Amino acid sequence: MTRIRHIQQNNFSVAELIDGCKQKKPQSQKMLFEKFAPLIYTTCRRYDFAGYPAKDLLQDTFIKVFEKIDQFDERKGQLKNWIARVSINLALNAIRKNKKVVIVIDEEIQANFVYESDDMLTPNLSEEEILALISKLPVGYKTVFNLFVIDGFSHKKIADSLNISISTSKSQLYKAKQILQKQINQIIKAKHG
């Protein structure tokens, strides 16, 4: 009986899960969490910092999703993208509130900053290796890198979200790429030699 019930649960469509969540049905909430948590956890790990671990961000994301599920409009996009945006917004709010996490930019460097190519040399690295490299970046660099490169935010949107200037966003991205490229070069050197 349990096995049959489990098989039937997997046949629920996303729309049925959403409807169940709107009705606050624990079974629907659990299935929605199980369906999307692994994907969203990847997003949470990218924004992980000492004041807001990825597991806490994941939990807070789904609490917010279940509270705000009525606001989801399937005509405007996929549910997984909406949940990811909830996660990113929670992370950005935490970063703004955490006074220890400040994006610092040397004004002299910023004044003389020259933007170079966006190209980065990337050998065949696994997703885990890439996430590990990104996670080692200072919070400000990591946040701008994630928002721009992975989540597709413009520098204007990043600047508005983090209360920084557009040039600060651009220079933070440049510095993040420099650090990542240095780390990647070290990996290449270690593999080949």
- Domains of the chain are 2-97 (1.10.1740.10), 107-192 (1.10.10.10)
Residue 106 makes CB contacts below 8 A (sequence gap 6+) with none
- Structure tokens that stand for 76 in this block: 């405007």
Q: HEC string of 16-74?
A: HHHHHHHCCCHHHHHHHHHHHHHHHHHHHHHCCECCECHHHHHHHHHHHHHHHHHHCCH
The reported pTM is 0.75
What pLDDT tens digit does each residue of the chain (193 aa) get?
Answer: 344 344 344 578 899 999 999 999 999 999 999 999 999 999 999 888 877 899 999 999 999 999 999 999 888 889 999 999 999 999 998 888 875 444 444 443 343 344 444 445 555 777 788 888 998 899 889 999 999 999 999 999 999 988 899 999 999 999 999 999 999 888 878 877 6
CA distance 48 to 18: 27
Q: What angle, rounded to 10 degrees, do the helices at 79-97 and 155-162 form?
A: 50
Q: DSSP state, 137?
A: S
Residue 116 makes CB contacts below 8 A (sequence gap 6+) with 174
Query: Can you tell me whether residue 1 is helix, strand or coil?
Result: coil
CA distance 146 to 172: 11
Alpha carbon of 134 to those of 12, 48, 110, 143: distances in Å? 36, 10, 22, 9
Q: DSSP state, 124?
A: S
Q: Which residues pair with 52 in a beta bridge?
A: 49
